[in-house]
Amino acid sequence: MGVEIERKFIVINDGWKNQEPGSSISQGYLSTSMDRVVRVRVINEDAYLTVKSSIDGLVRNEWEYPIPVDDAKIMLKNLCIQPIIEKVRYRILHAGMMWDLDVFSGENEGLIIAEIELESENQPFDVPAWAGKEVTDKPRYYNNNLARYPYRSWTDEEKQV
């Protein structure tokens, strides 16, 4: 079992660009209950089934297992909450720490989120100039919620962090 400690930020400019090519991700949710999330994800040519516990502060338990890509594609099409989350993920090293930057497309086009995984809740880190307001405590920015209430359907007021 893994533990995930993650912080999320809105990306506010293009200062992160000129990185290596990103990874294409399609992901969907089999369950998005208050106490668990079950996700199916295809990353390029690999696929995973992930189970996450509810969040306690910044911490949650996480289990991830490789699955056959063909099975994942069938689950995404036939079993997952629609729409499927489509994004390109860029891995960006900043101040000695790895950031994941997701550029969403499809029903969540226009949204760009950066996240960093930490070893502890109090671990210090440097926020890059391209990362703006923190949205870790705003559930609407979590992927499982974007599947149920996509960014394109948000009001202008909701898009104002």
- For the question of residue 141 being annotated catalytic, the response is no
Determine which one of 29, 90, 141, 151 is catalytic. 29
Q: pLDDT tens digits for the chain (161 residues)?
A: 677 889 999 999 999 997 789 999 999 999 988 888 999 999 999 999 999 887 666 778 899 999 999 999 999 999 999 999 999 999 999 999 999 999 999 999 999 999 999 999 899 999 999 999 999 999 899 999 999 999 999 999 988 87
List, in order, residues 6 or more apart from 97 with CB less than 8 Å away.
116, 125, 126
pTM comes to 0.92
According to the model, what pLDDT value does residue 55 have? 67
Break the chain into its structural domains and give their ranges.
2-159
Q: In this structure, what token pair is assigned to residue 79?
A: 């079993």
Q: Are 151 and 138 in contact (CB under 8 A)?
A: no
Please state which CATH class domain 2-159 belongs to: mainly beta
d(CA 46, CA 85) in angstroms, rounded, equals 16
Which residue in 50, 68, 66 sits closest to 2, CA to CA? 50
According to the model, what pLDDT value does residue 29 have? 96
User: Using omega within 30 degrees of 0 as the cis cutoff, is the peptide bond preceding 128 cis?
Assistant: no
